[in-house]
Amino acid sequence: MSALDGRVVIVTGGGRGLGRAHCLALAAQGATVVVNDLGVSLQGHPEAHQPSPADQVVAEIEALGATAVADGTSVTDWDGMADLVARTVERFGTLHAVVNNAGFIRDAMLVTMTEDDFDAVVAVHLKGSVALTKHACAFWRQRAKAGERVTGRVVLTTSGAGLFGHAGQANYSAAKGGLAALAATVALEMQRYGVTANAISPVAATRMLAAIGRTADRAADWDPLDPANASPVVAWLCSEESGWLSGAVLRIDGNTVRRVRGWTVEDGYTAKAGRALEVGELGLGLRQLYGAAPVGLGG
């Protein structure tokens, strides 16, 4: 018995890189996989492929003796994502998990970024993840209300840029930060229906990472930047067993999975009792809060 026997999972951007590795790992654990991929370039521009990246991954999965189908809908197509959920349920009888992974980058410093590059990157990562997640959650909610036991799983793909910032990626980091927040909100909204939502922050030598100057360590026996390193965590998050964990962000680097703690509200500076904060006291108050030296002492 494998962790995902009988489970049906949609993976977006499943034709290459991390998505391809997730599809293969999910299939190896017994899942039926819907491999969604638009087959675009690293910057999101159309590319001709025959067969398509999604078709190639389906062939790899079928060679393992597992079941998969390809889908070429853009994740940014709101109604298209509704149709994808409906087609999956029609074909396989149900849906258990969605892995939101599709994306591309159009890096530029904020001052030189075009409106189109901002909109396109936010659309593919943030709107694309919301679109599929929304329609999957609507399906699970309806099944739960009909009395069915639901074990829905949403996996979102955030990144170090989204969690900590990255110069030259204002569009990408804004979208990826939004996905970490989305996991927290979907977790709260869907808990009552048996659905969890978690985000992963992977590090992998794909064409995307190569674009910012990191490549695989080919000399090592074991590749710490292999995209497949993140996939066991994705597979586990899609399993029934993971039902106790929701709203989390997990960073996977090599063979370590780390818990990322979200924003925390810590010590404060409080105005004297009975009155609101005043501008005049904030200079010193915030310096105390941040441990900075008071003005006149080297600050």
Ligand X SMILES: NC(=O)c1ccc[n+]([C@@H]2O[C@H](COP(=O)([O-])OP(=O)(O)OC[C@H]3O[C@@H](n4cnc5c(N)ncnc54)[C@H](O)[C@@H]3O)[C@@H](O)[C@H]2O)c1
Closer Cβ to ligand X, 12 or 171, answer by number: 12
Chosen residue from 31, 33, 38, 199 binding ligand X by CB under 6 A: 38
Cα(294)–Cα(198) distance, integer angstroms: 42
- Please state the φ and ψ torsions of residue 98, each to the nearest 5 degrees: -125, 130
Closer Cβ to ligand X, 30 or 72, answer by number: 72
Q: Which stretch binds ligand X (CB under 6 A): 111-119, 135-143, 200-208, 267-275?
A: 200-208
Q: Between 219 and 258, how does the x/- string for binding to ligand X read (CB under 6 A)?
A: ----------------------------------------
Q: Between 110 and 149, how does the x/- string for binding to ligand X read (CB under 6 A)?
A: --------------xx--x---------------------
Which tokens sit at 282?
């904030």
Contacts of 178 (CB under 8 A, 6+ apart): 122, 125, 126, 162
Closer Cβ to ligand X, 97 or 150, answer by number: 97
Which tokens sit at 250?
């997990």
Closer Cβ to ligand X, 30 or 224, answer by number: 224
Burial classification of residue 255, based on how many CB atoms lie within 10 Å of its CB (0-12 exposed, 13-18 middle, 19 or more buried)? exposed
Q: Which stretch binds ligand X (CB under 6 A): 26-34, 79-87, 98-106, 264-272?
A: 98-106
Any catalytic annotation for residue 172?
yes
Chosen residue from 29, 56, 88, 101 binding ligand X by CB under 6 A: 101
Closer Cβ to ligand X, 74 or 151, answer by number: 74
The answer to the question of residue 177 lying near ligand X (CB under 6 A) is no
Task: Report in angstroms how near the CB of residue 173 gets to ligand X at its nearest.
Answer: 10
On whether the CB atoms of residues 172 and 166 are closer than 8 A, the answer is yes
The answer to the question of residue 40 lying near ligand X (CB under 6 A) is yes
Task: Find the distance separating the first CA and the last CA of the chain, reported in whole Å.
Answer: 63
CA distances from 4 to 9, 84, 163, 295 (A): 9, 21, 29, 60
On whether the CB atoms of residues 44 and 124 are closer than 8 A, the answer is yes
Catalytic residues: 172
